[in-house]
A = this chain, B = another copy of it.
Amino acid sequence: MSKKEQIVKVASKYFSEVGYDKATLDDVAKEVGVSKAAIYYHFKDKFALYEAVLCSRFKDLAQTICEIDVLVPIKALREYVEKFGNFLLENPCFSAIFAREMADGAMNMPQSCTEQMSQILKKLSAILQEGEAQGVFEKENPFMVQLMIVSTLVNYRTTRKLRITVMKNLNEIKNIDAGLKDIIPNLANKIIKALQC
């Protein structure tokens, strides 16, 4: 792996763990084993590094989502939830970054990523419309449906520690906390059920 790729990888870890602002380039540089100035050799500034972290992954996500075939809406919706979920599983750094972007109104979201997000939502919109046309789904606000899926998945990941703390508070230690992997099909079923006529 090139130094540049290593920088992106380590940076994505820090951005994920502590957020854009608290992530310091000194730390990233230290962990990669280069000087901070080396980062500035490869990237214009901190934000450009953040962009590099986000954009490639977003592109991948938009890619797989766009492959979904709309024709059988219920199946397509299940696929949508599963693909999103699996993406988060395969890109563990992403949940936190995504969640933070949603939390602060996508303030740091690079434009290209916003465009990818639009494509993703467009697909969901198409699934819902096809479902409506076929009489299997009711008319829906696609933004809300999107949030019911995405924010649930993303925040399920980020709130793991909180859930464990809360479980202790409620003395429900028996109830072993389910991982995201187990949640995905469950959420898919719930969403489908919620939207069906």
Contact = CB atoms under 8 A, between A and B. Distances in A.
Interface of A: 18-19, 21-22, 96, 99-100, 102-106, 109, 114-115, 117-118, 121-122, 125, 141, 143-144, 147-148, 151-152, 154-156, 158-163, 165-166, 169-170, 177-178, 183, 186-187, 190-191, 193-195
A96 B104 contact: yes
Identical chains in the assembly:
2
Contact of A141 (B102, B106, B186): B186
Contacts of A160: 105
A157 to B, nearest CB: 9
A102 B144 contact: no
B96 A99 contact: no
Contacts of A121: 166, 170
* 9 shortest interchain CB distances as A-B pairs: A99-B103, A118-B169, A194-B194, A151-B151, A190-B194, A106-B162, A151-B155, A100-B103, A103-B103
